[in-house]
Structure 1
Amino acid sequence: MPRGWVCAYLSRVADHQPFPPGARRVARPAGVSPCPSCGDLAGRGYPECRFCAELVDQYWLLDWQELLAAEKLAEGGAGERELAELVLADEVGRHPWTCTDWAMTLVSCSHCGKELGAGPVDCVRCAMAEALRWSWDHVAFPDAITAEEHALRVARAVLRAPHRRRPTVVRAWRLLLPFLLIGELPTVGQVQRIRAHVIAGGYADLALCTTHVELAGLPELPWRRSARVEHQAKAQRDQDPAGHPLQDPADPRAGEPAADPV
């Protein structure tokens, strides 16, 4: 890459606001609807279904195209990959999180050769890139990324590399993605109930739910209730001699996006 181009790029990004928001150039759909290609709720076929992939990726792509335009580069041109590498090498918070994600789709891992962050579970380079990705959210929340945007980001990342997560985790995010696209966010408890029903073999029935209220309103399974009661009883038994319960690991700081609940 020409040295003058690199210097011009660095001078421009130095003037950018820290942690610019992402995924806000496209209006969210008013409601979920069937995909005309795969027939499932639109977005749920991501990334295999082309229509679902375009529906989801437009929130990322428009931010990336804006960056390309600012750098006077063409999409698919010779300089796009070099720009992606510069974005990933930059300090966290220089670019919208959508641009970081899109850059990862354009760069191949130097160790395994797969899409960066989506390689085999034992690829150290992909693991490092995936961990660095989420530092953006934890520093920028809630001013530059909302809980709904964080969940949408997690869902896309999970579905792009399903082999890196447990099957139940992948299925739960696949079920939720159409509703995340319209800005509906389930609580951690609701996600845990959805996951429990997936573990119990209820994915097909869950996939028939056409509203977030219907999907998130699932009853707690009896075996989940029993496990919760047992956990609470054990916590009471684990009190120290002074009568103070042993403390669980500290909760995330108030206002931070919750860790992936599934």
Structure 2
Amino acid sequence: MAQQPYPPGARLLARPDTAKPCPACGDLLGRGYPDCVTCAERVDSYWKADWAALLDDQGIVEGDPEERELAGRVVADDPGAHPWTCVDWALRLMTCPACRAELATGDPGCLSCAGADQTRWAWDDAGMPVSMTRNEHDLRVAVACLRAADRRRDTIVAYSRLSLPFLLTGDSASRAQAQRIRTHLLASRRDELAAADSFAAMASLPDLPWRDRR
């Protein structure tokens, strides 16, 4: 595992060229995350590849008690000591001492989960744009949101779910596209958005007649 500050993450496996339907749930691959096993396996493979590399570097076997000890060290280390994917995976292996949920995903009122979730984002602040691309940041945000949906607003969860298949391909929405997609969500147009095949297509939905100000 690379030892330079802010080693990048989610780059060991190739990304798909296009968003395709999941053979299990039928939605675009990723939208069933984390409940659909197939969607979860495909999405998590980018995190798991980096974690497996770290285990190999440390001479630790997956599932051994030393793996959880390593997770605790990774979470406690300074930001930038490990790939962001390894930080996220370590959080998944840890149980919140307060609410007993997966750390950083618990009840909205759990301060321990809130603190763990907030701390992880220091990586992005310092790692972008060299060690982390805009797409990688957006992918991380979307997955973290869907793993802790109860901690986010419904529109943010819906936006993350709609976005994930396209983020997996390496695409990202521009700020203007993201704002327009969120506006469509507020207008209860999720089904129309779900039928689109890209960020650009979602953002290009025509205005509803009552919103047309011409």
Is 1:55 the counterpart of 2:42? The answer is yes
Partner of 1:125: 112
Is 1:217 the counterpart of 2:204? The answer is yes
Partner of 2:162: 175
Partner of 2:98: 111
What amino acid does structure 1 have at the position aligned with 2:181?
A: I
Q: 1:222 to 1:129 in 2, by over 3 A?
A: farther
What amino acid does structure 2 have at the position aligned with 1:28?
A: R
Aligned length: 213
196-205 or 217-226, which deviates more:
217-226
Partner of 1:23: 10
216-225 or 173-182, which deviates more:
216-225
Q: In 2, are the aligned partners of 1:193 and 1:219 still within 8 Å (CA)?
A: no
Partner of 1:78: 65
Q: TM-score, normalised by structure 2?
A: 0.95
Q: 1:62 to 1:69 in 2, by over 3 A?
A: same
Is 1:162 the counterpart of 2:149? The answer is yes
The structure having more radius of gyration, on CA atoms, is: 1
Q: In 2, are the aligned partners of 1:42 and 1:52 still within 8 Å (CA)?
A: yes
2:26 to 36, 39, 52: 39
Runs of 4+ residues over 6 Å off in structure 1 = 222-226
Q: TM-score, normalised by structure 1?
A: 0.78
What amino acid does structure 2 have at the position aligned with 1:215?
A: M
1:144 to 117, 120, 131: 131
Q: Note the residue ranges of structure 1 that are not aligned, 5 or more in a row.
A: 1-12, 227-262
Partner of 1:95: 82
CA-atom RMSD, angstroms?
Answer: 1.7
- CA deviation vs aligned residue, 1:43-77 (integer Å, no higher than 9, x gap): 11000001100110011000000000011111111
What amino acid does structure 2 have at the position aligned with 1:63?
A: D
- CA deviation vs aligned residue, 1:107-163 (integer Å, no higher than 9, x gap): 001111101100111111111111101000001111100000000000000000011
Is 1:202 the counterpart of 2:210? The answer is no
* Aligned counterparts of 1:219 and 1:173: Cα–Cα separation in 2: 21
